[in-house]
Structure 1
Amino acid sequence: MTTKGINHLGLNVRDLDQTTAFFTELLGWKLQARDDAYPRTTVSDGTARFTLWQADRTRPMTEFDRKTNIGLHHVALEVESEEELLDLAARIRTWPGTTIEFEPELLGGGPRKHMMFTEPGGIRLEIIWPAGA
């Protein structure tokens, strides 16, 4: 084997402070690093680690389109219980700048459930409860 997993995922975002707050305040991730000169932050849930990069605000930004952009389609995060999924959905629903694509629903034929949304910085996220799958 030549690799052993993802070290981190680097994501460009519309607003570094909004996205960092979304991960640390709403999802409970830890801020591991911040470099305002670059500018970037690194956040982690203890398993996954994301480096968030501020998109260049002096240039026109292109919004993500999952059907036409090459590269990232979405990032899927897992929760341990259906209750956690439903609780997060309620909190995401009221978080400023988020756009919910669909509320928690059966994934495939179930019993797994998931939801899809875009966080304030423009990253498309999925939250999945695998139902012991």
Structure 2
Amino acid sequence: MNIQLLHESILSNARFSFSKSGGPGGQNVNKVNSKASLEIPISLLLGLSEEERSRIENKLKHRISSEDCLFLSIDEDRSQLINRERALARAEELLVQAAHIPKKRKATKPTRGSVLDRLKTKKQKGSIKDLRRKPITD
């Protein structure tokens, strides 16, 4: 993944729309369009391999529309500019996290100490259960 190329393609393909933000805030909320809604076409993003693109589409399918656009809306701040910058940063962060391919786990043997500890606790549990039994009378 080329993060620099991805960043530039996000900036060039991002489409914003602004609306009034809900919640507390007094008159400012009622008159200022501070909520930033971001829309980015996934197919136009550069710097991604096909495997990374398919991982993004799979992991972020609840945020991707039928037109293959990633949607994100931010209304955390009273400033439209700050919300716009946060939306761009969050979109890049989401895309990088979703495209990340985790390393394969290498299977290892349990250590000798952990095997002995497990067997010791099994013996202790078994002996506790043995003490619960009624004594056998001949």
**Under a length normalisation based on structure 1, what TM-score does the superposition of the two structures give?**
0.26
Structure with greater helix percent? 2
Of the two, which has the highest radius of gyration?
2
